[in-house]
Structure 1
Amino acid sequence: MNTVDLALAAVQALVYLLLAPLLVGWVRKAKAVLQNRRGASVLQPARNLRKLFAKEARVAHTASPLFRVTPYIVFTATWLAAAAVPLIATKLPTATVADVIVVAGLLGLARFFMALAGMDVGTAFGGMGASREMMVSGLAEPALLMAVFTLAMSAHSTNLAGMVDHQLAGGSLLLPSTLFALGGLVLVAIAETGRIPIDNPSTHLELTMIHEAMVLEYSGRHLALLEWAAQLRLMLYGALIANVFFPWGIATTPTLSALAAGALAIVAKLALLGLLLAVAETVLAKKRLFRAPSFLSLAFLLALLGLLSHVILEQGL
């Protein structure tokens, strides 16, 4: 491990911070165009973050210290989880900790503190959002682990960089297990990032909101950190889908040309995924809350079918 590798790992972590608001802005812009609206600039989410950081953070008098430290914990845990997912290159110092169990654990830590903070102030919306978040996450995490373990059985490792290298070497995208795992992970990503049809991040309707209900009491820099963490979570799942299942273009050597190609490849893949997400949210309607378990059960079933396909059909290939 040398200074150049450490610098590249730091740059990749910073790229996550910069691209996350742009990805959200791209999805919103694409949705606006599909709905015959002009829409805001792609840079608008970044401008909103800057505006929130400049405002004073107001805290309810019933809030405990937990309520104040939660935004920092959630943002740090989400950023660390995102930085562990290979984005531009695989041969980086972060590859040693880029384990799917570590990433799931960091996301679970952020979710745990978000739920506690939602209930801390004692408002009805906060407690309602926390209970809904725990219900969704309790169904989404098994499907997430099952989907990634399907690839881990082929790569013989739960390390994400190892899975990417295995996909590049083996070209196993068309295997049934990989396709089933991809379908399950896509459904999990939609639920975990609070997108339609599970949640609608652009509304504050008390009958439907999940994530937004837990952040209603936050303002200023606290709200900015939570919004940034939510954008990082969408970026994380986008990078996970793009590079684990479609790893073409990612740099395997730390040369300038390979890193430039990796940067262009991930921007193109994320732009395409954002466009597909915008199309899906335009043509689909939000499901009722009690239908969320069925949606996530389908994700788990697809991941399980992928695992069984690998064991029955592809063992020894």
Structure 2
Amino acid sequence: MNGTMTATGTAAVTLQVALVAAGAPLLAGLMRQVRALLEGRVGPGVTQPWRDLRKLLRKEAVTPAGTGPAFRLGPLVLVSTTAVVAALVPLASTTTPVSGSADLILVVALLALGTVALALAGLDTGTAFGGMGASREMTVAALVEPTILLAVFALSIPAGSTNLSAIVSGGIHDPVRLASPAGLLSTAALAVAVLAETGRLPVDNPATHLELTMVHEAMVLEYAGPDLALVELGSQMRLTVLLGLLASLSAPWGIATTASPAALVLALVLLAVKVALLGAALAAAEVFWAKLRLFRVPELLAGSFLLALLAVTASYFLTGE
């Protein structure tokens, strides 16, 4: 029995990481296609991001003169940390060999490590755009990371643990807590944090190259070829993982809690459906959203931090009762 549980848990980790890596470009393509249709355009198709990555991989890598290890290692750190987060977060199963290590603080630290690596790469180029984008990115990260911590911590109080698998399992067995004031507030705060962490509207516009509005794009302007492909893939994987985390915490139904292969297959299918629905909803909302002025972004993030703080307070009161 233990051997079966270990084999199924290992398969769950492998498959969910593979699903995130392979599905992330498709999610980006789906979101672009939804926006195109709502704007009255035909759109390039859902598989266009995969074709873009293949084209970039065939090109020659170009390294700007004067750059050091930070520039070259930035894309690798971004992709590797996101892959580790995809393995730790209970996207498809709560019984995996790494479930005991899926701690909230560790996951947020890995996300922050990828952000810092990309910011250092932007600074390493020595360009005005790189420094500007890195400065803006770290300003956003300084407000986003505490919000993610507090939002998920509010959900961890009833579970009595900061382990994400324990939090998700608690939500599956006690769905009432998800509809409680603490659950709704933490979900709202986490949703805003996901928008900021992944550089989506209204915090950032991933489709722009205007110097006054760029945040993420300003840091990666000097990348080309395979390095740019890694940066794009890492960003797409981060969006997929964070949407999957949001779905797992707010709507954990369907996630496998046993070692059944059938339950794992169903969980993977439901994961793809939930993330696709969230991505399509986000893309549809972006059609009607305008990007906030840069100096208004901290106000939005401070508001989400306040929601997370209220969620923690409400969770303490409700747990105390």
Shorter-chain TM-score: which interval? over 0.9
1:139 and 1:224 mapped to 2: Cα distance?
28
Percent identity, aligned pairs only, is 46
2:82 and 2:118 mapped to 1: Cα distance?
12
The aligned counterpart of 2:18 is: 14
Please list, as runs of the form range in 1=range in 2, the aligned pairs for 1:82-161 lying within 5 A after superposition: 82-161=86-165
Q: Give the aligned residue type for 1:80.
A: V
The aligned counterpart of 1:194 is: 199
The aligned counterpart of 1:310 is: 315
1:3 and 1:311 mapped to 2: Cα distance?
38
Question: Which of 22, 29, 35 is the matching residue for 1:25?
Answer: 29
- 1:233 matched to 2:216? The reply is no
Q: Give the aligned residue type for 1:270.
A: V
Question: Which of 152, 177, 189 is the matching residue for 1:184?
Answer: 189
1:222 and 1:84 mapped to 2: Cα distance?
25
Q: CA RMSD in A?
A: 1.2
2:59 and 2:239 mapped to 1: Cα distance?
25
2:184 and 2:12 mapped to 1: Cα distance?
32
2:63 and 2:249 mapped to 1: Cα distance?
41
Q: Which is further off, 179-188 or 62-71?
A: 62-71
1:289 and 1:20 mapped to 2: Cα distance?
28
The aligned counterpart of 1:284 is: 289
2:9 and 2:216 mapped to 1: Cα distance?
36
1:194 and 1:39 mapped to 2: Cα distance?
21
Q: Give the aligned residue type for 2:268.
A: A
Deviation sequence 1:90-140 (CA, Å, 0-9, x none): 111121221111111111111111111101111000000000001000011
Give the TM-score normalised by the residue count of structure 2: 0.95
8 Å contact from structure 1 (residues 16, 83) kept in 2:
no
- 1:249 matched to 2:254? The reply is yes
Q: Give the aligned residue type for 1:53.
A: L
The aligned counterpart of 2:229 is: 224
Structure 2: stretches of 5+ with no match in the other structure: none
8 Å contact from structure 1 (residues 86, 160) kept in 2:
yes
Deviation at 1:4, TM superposition (A): 4.2
The aligned counterpart of 1:46 is: 50
After TM superposition, what 4+ stretches of structure 1 lie above 3 angstroms from structure 2? 1-4
Secondary structure, counterpart of 2:98 in structure 1: helix
8 Å contact from structure 2 (residues 133, 219) kept in 1:
yes
2:172 and 2:291 mapped to 1: Cα distance?
36
Cα–Cα, structure 1 residues 3 and 263, in superposed 2: closer, same or farther, change >3 Å?
closer
Q: Give the aligned residue type for 1:175.
A: S
Deviation at 1:273, TM superposition (A): 0.5
Secondary structure, counterpart of 2:110 in structure 1: helix
Please list, as runs of the form range in 1=range in 2, the aligned pairs for 1:57-68 lying within 5 A after superposition: 57-68=61-72
Cα–Cα, structure 1 residues 227 and 140, in superposed 2: closer, same or farther, change >3 Å?
same
Q: Which is further off, 66-75 or 125-134?
A: 66-75
Q: Give the aligned residue type for 2:132.
A: M
8 Å contact from structure 2 (residues 8, 261) kept in 1:
no
Task: Give the count of matched residue pairs.
Answer: 316
Secondary structure, counterpart of 1:173 in structure 2: helix
Deviation at 1:5, TM superposition (A): 2.9
- 1:75 matched to 2:74? The reply is no
Deviation at 1:20, TM superposition (A): 1.0
Structure 1: stretches of 5+ with no match in the other structure: none
Deviation at 1:270, TM superposition (A): 1.1
1:260 and 1:10 mapped to 2: Cα distance?
13
Q: Give the aligned residue type for 2:65.
A: H
2:86 and 2:121 mapped to 1: Cα distance?
22
Deviation sequence 1:177-217 (CA, Å, 0-9, x none): 00000000000000010000010001111100100000000
Deviation sequence 1:253-282 (CA, Å, 0-9, x none): 232321222122112211210121012101
Q: Give the aligned residue type for 2:256.
A: A
Deviation sequence 1:1-44 (CA, Å, 0-9, x none): 63443233222211110111111111111111111111111111
